[in-house]
A and B are shown apart, each in its own frame.
Chain A
Amino acid sequence: MNGTVTVLAASADTRRGLTIGLFAVFIAITLYITFWASRHNKTAADYYAAGRSFSGFQNGLAISGDYMSAASFLGIAGLIALYGYDGFLYSIGFLVAWLVALLLVAELLRNAGRYTMGDVLAFRMRQRPVRTAAGVSTIAVSIFYLIAQMVGAGALVALLLGIRTGETFLGMNVTTAKNVTIVIVGALMILYVTVGGMRGTTWVQIVKAGLLMSGAILMTLFVMAKFNFNPSSLLGAAAEQSGKGDAFLNPGLRYGAGDWKTKVDLISLGLALVLGTAGLPHILIRFYTVPTARDARRSVNWAIGIIGGFYLLTLALGFGAAALVGTNAIRTANPGGNTAAPQLAEELGGGPGTTGGAIFLAFIASVAFATILAVVAGLTLASSSSAAHDIYANAIRSGDVGEKDEVRVARIAALVIGAVSIVLSIFAQNLNVAFLVALAFAVAASANLPAILYSLFWRRFNTRGAVWAIYGGLATAVILVIFSPVVSGKPTAMISDKDFAWFPLENPGIISIPAGFFFGWLGTVLSRERDDVKYNELEVRSLTGAGAH
């Protein structure tokens, strides 16, 4: 194993110095932006929604920065490098999902709501139960996602700096280095959010989106140039180097042929990916940062263009890594394939041991670091906004709270949620990152999306329906995952020495999403509550923008 890991450790001192230098430059720039942004934050609308002052293009970039996590940059490129075609399935689901947001959610939510997802869900309902449910689900989804990103950050930075087991770096062994990384990432995200609010966080995401796109475009050009810009020769070389031959280019390597379960699992995953995005709270609150519904539409259009373009680039990166670095070398460096993109960068710069390789690798490593920071800041902001606005201001204080007080609570919530996630991430380092992300998407699709769609389009929908949809979808998704083969019963499971997995699928979506819709319907028809006056207001406001914030 050591032979290939040294790919990353070659010229370690130069490269570490460069990587840390680039990290430091990015941190300095974003901190400057954060403090600059804080001088423009005066009201609650500034803190939660950046004064609704961003343009459609700026917000489109920020949405892309919020959405393209390290999981998509390193994860998808890695999946393609290891499993070929099946990695591509992820990016398609992640992209098509944006049409749900564009056609059904973005504009109507922008007009109807104010700061949080809970604003729309509770619009015509009894406030306390619905606000509480919306807050619980927002915080649950965001924390699953947040821990996934931070655990990933720890593992990744250790890997990118080339710190191996038994080695020390600045006097730290691997475990300490990972923990230190998690604490630094956590401290930075708390700083971005509490000081910069939505305005600072948005700018961090814009800078990151620009960096990530530049890095991906640059690498793609390098890769394609090596194959005379002919996709067919790239795929041919990838198939050859993967050792799998033609099967590498066909569906089925990861979602194996034969067993019915893996095929149903593929469909279940496909559903969660395509329906989860429009229920992710940290994405939804981005629509409040623009002045009108039309700008919200423009933001989504830009986001679709940028994210779609990016996923097409990851195709070149993933197959390029397989062709140039080789699937075996990637799997030996990291079994999940997460280092495929950095290894490819080193190869493109001139190979291990060269200055060009070291520079390119350091650049891509710092892009990955920037990616993680921007995403965790967005998640911390979404969950702390919901804690302050939905739970504290509206559920606990029944709306009787001053603007300054509410923002103060939001900052405290960001600090608490940030601290809790640092601690959870340090203890959760053995959790599978992909499992946490899949769980976040499944809960968003099963709990949030049914409640949002019913709220916007179903006149009869009421408090009990909303509460049942959220808790019903949330509980179904979480329970099915706990009793799935991801948690027990398989050698790769979290608890591999026990077997209580009676649910055969890894992804709960195919059951839990219909369950969320069913509970929302059942709760609604079992309650006699109905508020036509408020539904008139919601419908007119969401479609015309009259009375929108």
Chain B
Amino acid sequence: MTSSDIRPGPEAGPGRHIPTADDYARMETDDRFIELRRRYRSFAFPMTVAFLAWYLLYVLMSAYARDFMDTKVVGNLNVAFFFGILQFVSTFLIAYLYSRYANRRLDPLADELNRDLGGRQ
């Protein structure tokens, strides 16, 4: 490749077919693609709403529910401390759940469609 294209287009490579606009348009209405998009969005969108709401609850309670947050649970550890630690736990958990979901429900279908379009693998 000697010149940079105006719009980022696929780089040519050995054994790779570059999908055309028609290929993309056909895939856009393919039932398998519609299913892939549904699977992705039905996990990612509600989960985003959920963790943002959970995080905002934490921030709002830090600002407006300080008496409750100050309640001691064990020794010197209070509700605020455990609530904060739970934000870490939920972040790790959601990352794990999404990866497991993607490995099982998204990647195999995405690979199949990618092969159909002549891409990598």
Contact residues of A with B, CB < 8 Å? 44-45, 85, 88-89, 92-93, 95-96, 98-100, 102-104, 112-114, 119, 122-123, 127, 231-233, 235-236, 239, 246, 249-252, 255, 257, 263-264, 266-267, 270, 274, 292-294, 297-298, 300-301, 304-305, 308, 311-312, 389, 393-394, 398-403, 406, 533-534, 536-537, 539-541, 543-549
Contact = CB atoms under 8 A, between A and B. Distances in A.
A536 B114 contact: no
B8 A235 contact: no
Contacts of B59: 89, 93, 266-267, 270
Contacts of A85: 80-81, 84
The secondary-structure label for the interface of chain B is: helix
Given A96-B91, A236-B75, A294-B107, 17 more contacts: A89-B59, A92-B88, A96-B55, A103-B48, A127-B6, A246-B70, A250-B66, A250-B70, A263-B64, A264-B63, A305-B92, A398-B6, A399-B3, A540-B27, A540-B28, A546-B114, A546-B118
Contacts of A231: 77
Contact of B33 (A293, A298, A544): A544
B48 A100 contact: yes
Given A96-B87, A235-B81, A251-B69, A274 B48 contact: no
B36 A102 contact: no
25 contacts: A95-B91, A99-B94, A102-B98, A103-B47, A103-B48, A112-B8, A231-B77, A232-B75, A236-B76, A249-B81, A250-B80, A305-B92, A308-B91, A399-B4, A401-B3, A402-B3, A403-B4, A406-B4, A533-B21, A536-B24, A540-B24, A543-B33, A545-B114, A545-B119, A546-B119
B11 A267 contact: no
Interface string B1-41: 11111111111000000110101110110000100110010
Interface string B49-61: 0011001101110
Nearest to B113: A544
Contacts of A294: 102, 107
Contacts of A96: 51, 55, 87, 91
Given A92-B58, A549-B11, A239 B76 contact: yes
A267 B77 CA distance: 24
Contact of A544 (B1, B51, B110): B110
Nearest to A300: B95
Shortest 4 CB-CB distances between A and B: which pairs?
A232-B75, A399-B6, A546-B117, A270-B59
Interface in B74-101: 74-78, 80-81, 84, 87-88, 91-92, 94-96, 98-99
A534 B20 CA distance: 11
A89 B95 contact: no
Contacts of B81: 85, 235, 249
A548 B119 contact: yes
Contact of A99 (B1, B2, B48): B48
Contacts of A113: 8
B120 interface: yes
Given A398-B6, A544-B117, A103 B78 contact: no
Contacts of A401: 3-4
Contacts of B43: 103
Contacts of B10: 547-549
B104 to A, nearest CB: 13
Contacts of B62: 89, 251-252, 255, 266
Nearest to A274: B55
Contacts of B44: 103-104
A255 B28 contact: no
Contacts of A266: 59, 62-63
Contact of B25 (A103, A389, A533): A533
Given A44-B4, A232-B74, A547-B10, A536 B63 contact: no
A114 to B, nearest CB: 5
A92 to B, nearest CB: 5
Contacts of B118: 546
A549 B8 contact: yes
Given A246-B70, A297-B99, A301-B95, A547 B117 contact: yes
Contacts of A549: 8, 10-11
Contacts of B76: 232-233, 235-236, 239, 249
Residue among B56, B63, B75, B120 facing the most chain A CB atoms (10 A cut-off) = B63
A246 B72 CA distance: 10
Nearest to A118: B8
Contacts of A304: 91-92, 95
Given A103-B47, A403-B4, A546-B119, A249 B78 contact: yes
Given A235-B77, A267-B63, A540-B28, A393 B70 contact: no
A547 B84 contact: no
Contacts of A88: 84
Contact of B37 (A300, A533, A539): A539
B76 to A, nearest CB: 4
A320 to B, nearest CB: 14
B93 to A, nearest CB: 10
Given A85-B80, A266-B63, A400 B8 contact: no
Nearest to B112: A544
B88 A312 contact: yes
Given A85-B80, A102-B95, A399 B5 contact: yes
A112 B24 CA distance: 13
Contacts of A122: 7
Given A267-B63, A270-B55, A546-B118, A92 B24 contact: no
Nearest to B16: A547
A308 B47 contact: no
B90 to A, nearest CB: 8
B27 A544 contact: yes
Contacts of A95: 87-88, 91
